[in-house]
Amino acid sequence: MAMNPVANNKKAFHDYEMIEKFEAGMVLKGSEVKALRAKRVNIKDSYCRFIKGELFLVNAHISHLDTTNMHYIPDNTTPRKLLLHKKQLDKLFAKSTKESLTIVPLSIYFNEKNRAKVSIALAKGKKLHDKRDDLKKKTLDREAAQAIKSRGKDY
């Protein structure tokens, strides 16, 4: 599957433990698609929310381009509808309300058919000690890799 990444949400992997991932389409205006292609998007503080039985991407900042139509400039942080199958929506709604899980966007990309997609995940918030454990593990792995690399130079 060839993907053209537009934006990644690195903060989500730091703050949440991912349980299950989904791929959703997005309802966009033409100028927003152009802005996505120019990579003028930020999803760092965004999240997904159910409004009247439909899933929306909230607080995602897609800035407009100067070359687009100046008569209609959409709001940068408007909630954008996500497209999923009814079964997936029901599953996400049930798990997010019953188990108090969060739905976070992980990345925005274009698939092989040049359609804008959002990778979302059901996530559980990490505690402070979980974050510390992850950082400790990451530094130990980095030090081990450096030690192996420097050990190979000696011979």
Structural domains in the chain plus CATH codes: 4-126 (2.40.280.10)
CB 59 within 8 A of CB 46: yes
Run of H or E residues at 15: helix 10-15
Cβ atoms of 34 and 60 within 8 Å: the answer is: no
Q: Which amino acid is located at 33 in the chain?
A: V
Number of Cβ within a 10 Å radius of residue 74: 15
User: How far is residue 104's CA from residue 154's CA, in Å, rounded to a whole number?
Assistant: 46
Look over the chain and give the mean of its residue pLDDT values, rounded to a whole number: 85
Residue 131 reports pLDDT greater than 80 = no
At 28-77, the pLDDT tens digits run 887 888 888 888 899 988 989 999 989 999 998 888 777 766 666 667 77
For the CA atoms of 40, 65, 36, 52, what is the dihedral angle to 10 degrees?
Answer: 100
pLDDT in tens, 74-103: 677 788 999 999 999 999 999 988 888 889
Tokens 């993907």 -> residue: 3
Q: Residue 132 CA to chain centroid, in angstroms? A: 22
Strand pairing of 4-8 and 116-125? Answer: unpaired
- Indicate the residue type of 43: I
Q: What is the pTM for the complete model shown?
A: 0.76
Of 41, 38, 26, 42, the closest CA to residue 66 belongs to 38
Task: Lowest mean pLDDT of 10-19, 46-55, 115-124, name the range.
Answer: 10-19
